[in-house]
Amino acid sequence: MTAAPSIAVGYASESGNAETLARHLTQLLHDQFQQQLPSQTLSITCLSLDDLAAQVAHADILLLISSTYGAGDIPSNGGHFLSELKAKRLQVQEKQMAVLALGDRAYDSFCQAGRDLYRLLAEQGAHVLVPLFEADTSFQPTYNQWLSRLLPRLGLAVPEKLLAFSKTYSAREPFLATLTHQHRLTSATADKDVRHYVLNISGAGIHYQAGDSIGVMPVNSRQRVEEVLAAAGLQGNEYCRRADGHDGPIAELLSRYIELTTPGQTMLQWLAEVTGAEWLQALLHPSQVQALCQFQFTADLAEVLRRVSGQVDPLQLLARQSGLLPRYYSLSASPLSHPDELHLTVATLSYSKQGATVQGTASGWLASLPLGSKVPVFLQPSPLFRLPEDPERDVIMIGPGTGIAPFRAFLHEREQLQAGGRNWLFFGERHRASHYLYQADLLRWQLRKELTRLDLAFSRDQAESVYVQHLLLQHAAEVFAWLENGACLYVCGDKTRMAADVDRALRQVLVEGGMSVADAGRYLLRLRMEKRYLRDVY
């Protein structure tokens, strides 16, 4: 036997696409080597990029598949690898490498994480086996093309049948679910409109799990489309061909394919070049990142069109504006309790702007739909946000506001499975009387002892705000005991403020349990590595 080179297949994946491809590639390499080069001893590993970081030295060939999230970020199981690579702490020189980047062309920073990995590996002396391949949402054909180039470079023939994927729905090809039910979860007079929606998906073949989210492709309101047409001085029947391939009368593109709220950076950059406008050039200067974010948050497409009126062809501007992206919603029921249904818990975003009330594109659209309407959806799996495999394990769930959604699904699932583990929920909202989401469900689970503990933080029912993290600290000793007993801890909801505050509170819980600050940090890191501290935050 001769030794074949050692191959490491690494993935960074949030919703499982890159991981699925990495596992398929690993199996394919095993099979192909065994068939075609049986005299060689094999060493092929498949790991998340973060786990691979410690193993890089042992590999001769690095085959990496990474998606992109957020604003051009790498998924959470690749962040450590990327920062180590940036800091030049990984020995990649003289290794051979190939990178497949997964992304979505509707985003300004298309495939950014894969591009960063490829560039850094090449800059640090890794040899390119095949150039970078970039795949859009329908990534299967690109993956197969990548394999067709990659396998011969490894001395392997390309099998006749590559990966044949079963039909899956995507943002480009969604399934049309039917809205069968909706009701307000907050009272009619509450200062916040949170709703429960039920979509029927019979016959779709969508198999979801508790913890998954659903992507919804919204439709822009007629009023906002007309506002943009007026600002652009267009009738609506003018033909437009967009950079993302969509074409047709501009009114149709504006209602289905163009983002009307947030002005996209690519479009603003183009606008700065063609108009030479000083205010735009100042805004796009690298030192003005915060001002640009603020502008994108507060201005909308109609306003930009009005500001450059007469200076550019509005159709060219609209051809470059960001595409209308799907909005994601955590599923709030388990398929075991509600087969053929998707349950959503949606806060209708509403804010005032220049005296007018503006509603969120997707949340406002959903709230306006009559029963029986079709809603374009596709599954967004969250393989990193799952109940423990062992039903006897305890779970602690922290989900204020709409963050409660996946925990309703978890509780349905644990009820159906008659799981023996204890369930502890921390929920928070503004007022008990008007904002207690899913009160009846929670009380029923409490009565039936499915919900072992329920701690409620109604922030505005007293002079001082009370938040979920305050309750965590109040019950620090018990939280610590549950964690020491092997509990899994989940956080869902607001990313910017709540999730960071809860993380700080958890550290404090551990310190009160007798740990030093450094040990508390290591403890939480270990929980994350053991998939016992999981977050779904937005």
Ligand X SMILES: Cc1cc2nc3c(=O)[nH]c(=O)nc-3n(C[C@H](O)[C@H](O)[C@H](O)COP(=O)(O)OP(=O)(O)OC[C@H]3O[C@@H](n4cnc5c(N)ncnc54)[C@H](O)[C@@H]3O)c2cc1C
Ligand Y SMILES: NC(=O)c1ccc[n+]([C@@H]2O[C@H](COP(=O)([O-])OP(=O)(O)OC[C@H]3O[C@@H](n4cnc5c(N)ncnc54)[C@H](OP(=O)(O)O)[C@@H]3O)[C@@H](O)[C@H]2O)c1
Q: How far apart are CA 35 and CA 508, in angstroms?
A: 56
Which residue of 98, 102, 254, 492 would you call a contact of ligand FMN, by CB under 6 A?
102
Among residue numbers 464 through 523, which ones bind ligand FMN (CB under 6 A)? none
Pick between residue 17 and residue 459 the one whose CB is nearest to ligand Y. 459
DSSP string, 126-188: PEESS--EEE-SS-HHHHHHHHHHHHHHTT-PPPSS---PPP---SSS-EEEEEEEEEESS-T
Stretch that binds ligand FMN, among 66-74, 87-95, 241-249, 490-498 (CB under 6 A): 66-74
In this chain, which of 189, 352, 462, 496 binds ligand Y, going by CB under 6 A? 496
Tell me which DSSP letter residue 331 carries.
B
Span interacting with ligand Y, options 131-139, 317-325, 415-423, 464-472, rule CB under 6 A: 464-472
Q: Which does 14 bind (CB under 5 to 8 A by kind): ligand X, ligand Y, ligand FMN, none?
A: ligand FMN
Binding flag, residue 79, ligand FMN (CB under 6 A): no
Q: Which of residues 132-151 bind ligand FMN (CB under 6 A)?
A: 137, 139
Per-residue DSSP letters for 343-365?
EEEEE--EEEETTEEEE-HHHHH
Sequence-ordered list of residues with C-beta below 8 angstroms from that of 343, at least 6 positions apart, any chain = 196, 197, 198, 331, 332, 333, 408, 409
Residue 514 backbone zone (phi > 0: left; psi -120 to 50: alpha; other: beta): left
User: Residue 486, by phi and psi: left (phi above 0), alpha (psi -120 to 50) or beta?
Assistant: left
Given ligand FMN, ligand X, ligand Y, none, residue 345, with its beta carbon under 5 to 8 Å by kind, binds: ligand X
Q: In this chain, which of 50, 212, 415, 429 binds ligand Y, going by CB under 6 A?
A: 429
Q: What's the length of the chain?
A: 538
Answer with the entry of ligand Y, ligand FMN, ligand X, none that 459 interacts with (C-beta below 5 to 8 A by kind).
ligand Y
Element spanning 468, H or E: helix 468-474
Contacts of residue 497, Cβ cutoff 8 Å, sequence gap at least 6: none
Residue nearest ligand FMN (C-beta atom): 103
Residue range at the interface with ligand Y (CB under 6 A); choices 102-110, 214-222, 427-435, 438-446: 427-435
Give me the sign of the Cα torsion angle 183, 492, 384, 21.
Answer: positive
Cβ contact 297:351 at 8 Å: no
Instruction: Please select the residue that binds ligand X; options are 97, 217, 346, 437, rule is CB under 6 A.
Output: 346
Out of ligand X, ligand FMN, ligand Y, none, what residue 405 binds, judged by CB under 5 to 8 A for its kind, is ligand X
Of residues 327 and 532, the one with the C-beta less far from ligand X: 327
For 298, half-sphere exposure in the C-beta direction (CA atoms, 13 angstrom radius) is 8
User: Does 497 interact with ligand Y (rule: CB under 6 A)?
Assistant: yes
From the list ligand FMN, ligand Y, ligand X, none, partner contacted by residue 363 (C-beta under 5 to 8 A by kind) = ligand X
Task: Catalog residues that contact ligand X under the rule CB under 6 A.
Answer: 213, 218, 261-262, 297-298, 327-330, 345-347, 349, 351, 353, 360-364, 402, 405, 538
